[in-house]
Amino acid sequence: MTIGVLTLELAVLDAQSLKDKRRVIQSVKVRLRNTFNVSVAEVGCLDQRRHCRLAVAMVSRETRPLHSQLDKMVDFVRRSSGLTLIDYDREIL
């Protein structure tokens, strides 16, 4: 069993309040869960109105499909409207 963890640093530049930020982030979290069948949680920058850190976890039997899916998730987030991908980190356990 192989576990992949993707950490995403995001900017929500149009957010005027934490409520605006949470609306955008919640939308991305739901779409990631529904599209890729993964676990997603906001793990950092909770009180900052324009920054967010998300962690995505996925389990697979092999590492190759895991790398492929994590790459697809990065591209998916990059194409999402309302936010900007600042940085990301992949970790295979």
Residue with tokens 């967010």: 52
Q: What is the pLDDT of residues 44-76, one digit of tens each?
A: 888 898 999 999 999 999 899 899 999 999 999
d(CA 26, CA 64): 29
Tokens read off for 51: 């920054």
Q: What number of CA atoms fall less than 13 Å from residue 76's CA on the CB side?
A: 19
How far CA 46 is from CA of 42, 52, 54, 72, 85, in Å, comes to 7, 7, 10, 25, 17
Is residue 87 scored above 90 in pLDDT? yes
pLDDT (average), residues 31-48: 93
**How high is the pLDDT of residue 82?**
87
Domain CATH number, residue 42: 3.30.70.1120
| Percentage above 70 pLDDT, the chain | 100
- Per-residue pLDDT at 81: 86
Residue-range definition of the domain harbouring residue 86: 2-92
Distance between start and end Cα atoms, the chain: 9
The number of domains in the chain is 1
Residue 91 pLDDT > 90: yes
